[in-house]
Amino acid sequence: MDNERISIYSNSITINGVSNVVSIFDKEAVINTEGGLIEVVGQGLTASKLELDKGLLVLSFESLVNIRLGREKRKLSLSNLFK
């Protein structure tokens, strides 16, 4: 988890240590990192920069509501989309 870092600025959040992005929607982003799962909740979330080879994700947002840190990693499942 030494390479994992979250930096919050006025309208963006930078996450280091990203292994993959599970999903990014307008109100929620789910990211797997070396240290576990990160869920970002807000309004107007968009990925402005993604460099998986460097483990870097920059999310832009209109408003930031919550950041949840977890240990469990998620895999994308299409079955969750069609419930």
Q: So where are the chain's domains?
A: 5-71
Low-confidence residues of the chain, pLDDT below 70?
A: 1-3, 71-83
Instruction: Name the nearest CA neighbour of 64 among 83, 82, 38.
Output: 38
pTM summary value: 0.80
CB atoms under 10 Å from CB of 40, counted, come to 23
Q: Could you tell me whether strands 28-33 and 36-43 are parallel, antiparallel, or unpaired per DSSP bridges?
A: antiparallel
In this structure, which topology does domain 5-71 adopt according to CATH? Immunoglobulin-like (2.60.40)
Q: Give the pLDDT confidence score for residue 57 in this predicted structure.
A: 97
Residue 83 confidence (pLDDT) = 46
pLDDT number for residue 70: 82
Rounded distance between C-alpha atoms, residue 57 and residue 70, angstroms: 17
The predicted pLDDT at position 4 comes to 76
Q: What is the pLDDT of residue 34?
A: 85
The pLDDT score that the predictor gives to residue 71 is: 63
> Of the candidates 30, 31, 27, 22, which has an alpha carbon nearest to the alpha carbon of residue 65?
27
